[in-house]
Amino acid sequence: MKTMWAPWRIEYILGEKEEGCVFCKGLAPDAELTLYSGRLSMVMMNKFPYINGHLLVSPRRHVAGLDELEADEMGDLIATVEKAVSTLKRAMHPDGFNIGLNLGKVAGAGVAEHLHFHIVPRWFGDTNALTVFAEVRVIPEHLKATFEKLKPHFEKLDAST
């Protein structure tokens, strides 16, 4: 039998759960994984990604549901999702995307109190039997390396908005 080690997961499993909202904390100027912060929306990297480039797009305002957004926030949020997809296409060249929104704990929202979209880039061959049978993901690039790859592209968005 072979063993695959994923020591980075223990931080998530046993680590103290952060107090407060990760998205609201992501608005701080020194936020570690925030790639973009616009007037009404923001883009962060997922600290525990499904695959390289897994991004989270949320409104800046702390709201749980789509029905709580103002019309300009809704428009900006969807436009920011599109900008993030375009940026991932340029920077990482994926073959496709999974884009989703989980509303409420029962629907799978890990942070139910702050609405957010998941953008998961996909490549041909990025899944294998290990994921299906062993419930283990193999992520080929370190989170910090992906951040460094994406950050310059999102800085260009900041300058243009």
DSSP H helical ranges for the chain: 9-14, 22-25, 71-92, 129-134, 143-160
54, 114, 116, 153: which one is catalytic?
116
Q: What is the radius of gyration, based on Cα positions, of the chain?
A: 16
User: Distance (Å, rounded) from C-alpha 94 to C-alpha 42?
Assistant: 21
Which tokens belong to 11? 């931080």
Active site residue 153: no
Listed in order, strand segments (DSSP E) in 13-127 are 34-37, 41-45, 55-59, 96-101, 117-122
By annotation, the residues acting in catalysis are 116
